[in-house]
Amino acid sequence: MAGVEVGIKNLSKSFGSSNIWSDVTLTLPAGEVSVLLGPSGTGKSVLLKSIIGLLKPEKGSIFIHDTDLVRCSESKLYEIRKLFGVLFQDGALFGSMNLFDNIAFPLREHTRKGEKEISDIVMEKLDMVGLSGAEDKLPGEISGGMKKRAGLARALVLDPEIILVDEPDSGLDPVRTAYLNQLIVDLNAQLDATILIVTHHLGTARSLPDNIGMLFRKNLVMFGPREVLLTSEEPVVQQFLQGRRIGPIGMSEEKDTSQMEAEMEELKKKGGSAESEESFIDPQLEVSEGVPERKAVQRRKDRVMQVLHTLPPKAQTAILEQLTEEDQERYGISRDQDRTELIEITRNNPPEDADPFGYQAMQEAADNSMVEDAPAGEGEGEGDQAGSGDPDADAEARKAPPAPPESDEPLVGVPADEDAGGTVVLPQAGEHTKSEDEQSDEAGNPPEQQQGSDDQAQQDQDQQDTQQVHRDETPTEQFQAQGGAQGQQDQGQQDQGQQDQGQQDQGQQDQGQQTTQQVATAGAAGAAGAAAGAAAASSGSSDDQPTGRHHWRGDPEQAARTGDQGVAGLVPMAARPAGQQQGQQQGQQHGQQQGQGQQQGQGQQPGQQRSGRDSGHSGWAQPNPGQDAAPDPQGEAAADPPAEGGPGSTEQTAPADDGTARPQSQDTGVPRGREDDDQGLMGGLRRMFRRGDS
């Protein structure tokens, strides 16, 4: 098992007339840990729910494998949901069930596994999260930290490839938070799952993720490698990371510009500076002893080094400073090397594959699909070199090196914006209140009314097919055109058919009891969104959309002014064409590190270059989760206080359908959750997902 990439493009979500966010574009790189920050109410949870298909954005795409969740059929959505594990804020445990039954719930609901197998899986997951021995306890009998870990165990029970975690640290003390973060890192190492965490916790944001994003004023202001956000000079980012009062974020989510300017002015008068605290980068959490190394680490380094030249100078420096000697050798550079010299070397050695994760290809596919649906003549941009309809011309266009400026190549999830240059474009402050009517707009319609007409369903399917074709063709053609049959689309290596997990239910545990209504309606969202998706698709190219993101890319004009060209992307030495490895001497510190010649296209083919990285993907092991797990026995489980108030427990056991007996519940005198409430939640959950085949 390995994580899968999640590609989000131009996503917009409103409830009635209340816009939550617009034009959100990012890629969660496969198998990496990403964190989403943002002031309260900016729609982080809404984004999580959209990613799993619980909420339907009215515009944009969410690609997983080759499927656009916004437009796909309901049955496809159900299938894709099997890839997910979700831990919601409160763990969303059923109060009337002990931990064993809570964790077993998805397996019983969504698979046809026997009780013996279920028991084995549950015990394994309990062990992974350090809760062995707590299986008989009711949620009311355990601490907040244990609840989070039980929720995590339930999120893991169907072996998800994508794990979404909403505020894992809310309500936890710093020590428990540290344990939970360590657990997430260790799980990432063991599962190689793609993980997205929503958090307000600065320690978590600084130490846990590979990538960080931030929502503010209805837009994604940033998303990319952790070093970029952690060294950002963007006021809203600095304010958030430093937990300051002064800055764009106000008590009611955001301040208006005049108030913010007045505050800054006041601060300056007092001799202070809003940027008074130096940004710093905490070391990233490493896996616990005995846990296999995170495969994401090397993949991320390779990816980040390839886009290094597009990052702001501070982030470049931070990344270069973190390189080990081994890394320097791998990328053919020296830390002590004069930076200007390094830039000179690398400028002439642009990345062979400027789209290492096929993100640009994905965007093109989505755009092309929209163009095809648009009336003739619409959406044909000048830059649309590939996709002309002439296969030969298209192959040539894809073969051609990226047109200057090279730095226009998108980063992880940061599309190039022709107008933004290297500047920060923050969205304007604005109200986004929501009336009850607007809310019921989203949640009030029974599923059958949201199904849409047959025509809409057909349109939905057609769109899906079109996109499928593009997704299938574009990256493959691109890689082959670049010189090798070895080039493979990363996502293509994931085999959905291998899933033997039944249907995932964690996504349904939607903020506890309050969400039953939401859950019940969200199940119909697949078809309901078809019309919206079709409308979005036919509205023309997404290039028309206003953007409000901060783009980290080299600005050639600024570079000309400052003389700082940025550091061009670096591919691992071993993966470079022989001509580059043996090229001109650059007098580097390490004798074996030959300079990077300027010749392109000699020796090793680009397709072969990819294979170096691809091997990282294709070689994703499928470790036996738990086998190498090393949850700290002195960790939360040990530290959590024992359940109190329990007079002699009368454990009941019931024979399972395969004859094994397992504990069903425990009467400890602690009030258990109301079964009525649980029934309501379960009803919603069952409507949401169908029983799986396995």
Ligand X SMILES: Nc1ncnc2c1ncn2[C@@H]1O[C@H](COP(=O)(O)OP(=O)(O)OP(=O)(O)O)[C@@H](O)[C@H]1O
Rounded to the nearest angstrom, the gap between the alpha carbon of residue 300 and the centroid of all alpha carbons in its chain is 13
Judged by CB under 6 A, does residue 38 bind ligand X? yes
Candidates 264, 281, 416, 443; binder of ligand X (CB under 6 A) is 443
Compute CA distances 175 → 414, 526, 639, whole Å: 34, 41, 10
3-state secondary structure of 666: coil
CB nearer to ligand X: pick between 367 and 442: 442
Judged by CB under 6 A, does residue 20 bind ligand X? yes
Candidates 27, 45, 369, 596; binder of ligand X (CB under 6 A) is 45
Candidates 25, 34, 42, 488; binder of ligand X (CB under 6 A) is 42
Least CB distance to ligand X at residue 15 (A): 4
Side chain identity at 353, as an amino acid letter? D
CB nearer to ligand X: pick between 519 and 567: 519
Candidates 24, 35, 46, 122; binder of ligand X (CB under 6 A) is 46
CB nearer to ligand X: pick between 56 and 110: 56
User: What residues are paired with 36 via a beta bridge?
Assistant: 198, 213
Compute CA distances 434 → 14, 16, 427, 521, whole Å: 10, 8, 19, 19
CB nearer to ligand X: pick between 170 and 660: 170
Judged by CB under 6 A, does residue 335 bind ligand X? no
Judged by CB under 6 A, does residue 518 bind ligand X? yes
CB nearer to ligand X: pick between 199 and 349: 199
Judged by CB under 6 A, does residue 171 bind ligand X? no
Q: Specify the stretch interacting with ligand X by CB under 6 A; choose among 116-124, 415-423, 437-445, 525-533.
A: 437-445
Least CB distance to ligand X at residue 69 (A): 17
Judged by CB under 6 A, does residue 346 bind ligand X? no
- Cβ(35)–Cβ(213) below 8 Å: yes
Least CB distance to ligand X at residue 88 (A): 11
Least CB distance to ligand X at residue 426 (A): 17
Candidates 3, 29, 31, 43; binder of ligand X (CB under 6 A) is 43
3-class DSSP string for 53-114: CCCCCCEEEEEECCEECCCCCHHHHHHHHCCEEEECCCCCCCCCCCHHHHHHHHHHHHCCCC
Residue 160: φ, ψ to 5°: -70, 155
Judged by CB under 6 A, does residue 7 bind ligand X? no
Q: Compose the 407-436 pattern: x for residues touching ligand X by CB under 6 A, - for all others.
A: ---------------------------x--
* CA dist., res. 152 & res. 184, Å (int): 9
Q: What does the block give as tokens for 17?
A: 């007339």
CB nearer to ligand X: pick between 443 and 670: 443
Q: Specify the stretch interacting with ligand X by CB under 6 A; choose among 37-45, 231-239, 314-322, 682-690.
A: 37-45
Candidates 302, 329, 442, 636; binder of ligand X (CB under 6 A) is 442
- Cβ(200)–Cβ(172) below 8 Å: no
Least CB distance to ligand X at residue 518 (A): 5
- Cβ(194)–Cβ(277) below 8 Å: no
Least CB distance to ligand X at residue 432 (A): 7
Q: Specify the stretch interacting with ligand X by CB under 6 A; choose among 39-47, 124-132, 287-295, 422-430.
A: 39-47
CB nearer to ligand X: pick between 252 and 388: 252
Side chain identity at 20, as an amino acid letter? I
- Cβ(402)–Cβ(409) below 8 Å: yes
Q: What is the length of the chain?
A: 694
CB nearer to ligand X: pick between 314 and 434: 434
Least CB distance to ligand X at residue 551 (A): 23
Candidates 2, 4, 8, 44; binder of ligand X (CB under 6 A) is 44
* CA dist., res. 74 & res. 459, Å (int): 14
Q: How many CB atoms lie within 10 A of CB 397?
A: 16
CB nearer to ligand X: pick between 439 and 660: 439
With a CB cutoff of 8 Å and minimum separation 6, the contacts of 131 are 99, 146, 149, 150, 153, 637
Q: What does the block give as tokens for 491?
A: 């996502």
Closest CA to 53 of 19, 80, 33, 29: 80
- Cβ(296)–Cβ(28) below 8 Å: no
Compute CA distances 465 → 230, 458, 582, whole Å: 40, 10, 46
3-class DSSP string for 406-450: HHHCCECCECCCCCCCCCCCCCCCCCCCCCHHHHHHHHCCCHHHH
Q: What does the block give as tokens for 623?
A: 């470790």
Judged by CB under 6 A, does residue 492 bind ligand X? no
CB nearer to ligand X: pick between 15 and 94: 15
CB nearer to ligand X: pick between 294 and 432: 432
Judged by CB under 6 A, does residue 135 bind ligand X? no
Candidates 6, 9, 11, 15; binder of ligand X (CB under 6 A) is 15
Least CB distance to ligand X at residue 350 (A): 38
- Cβ(142)–Cβ(640) below 8 Å: yes
One DSSP character per residue, 353-402 reads -S-TTSHHHHHHHHHHHHHHHSPTTTT--TT--S-SS-HHHHHHHHHSPP
CB nearer to ligand X: pick between 40 and 388: 40
CB nearer to ligand X: pick between 511 and 539: 511
With a CB cutoff of 8 Å and minimum separation 6, the contacts of 102 are 93, 94, 139, 150, 154
CB nearer to ligand X: pick between 13 and 551: 13
Least CB distance to ligand X at residue 445 (A): 13
Judged by CB under 6 A, does residue 41 bind ligand X? yes
Judged by CB under 6 A, does residue 439 bind ligand X? yes
Q: Give me the residues that bind ligand X (CB under 6 A), please.
A: 15, 20, 38, 40-46, 434, 439, 442-443, 518
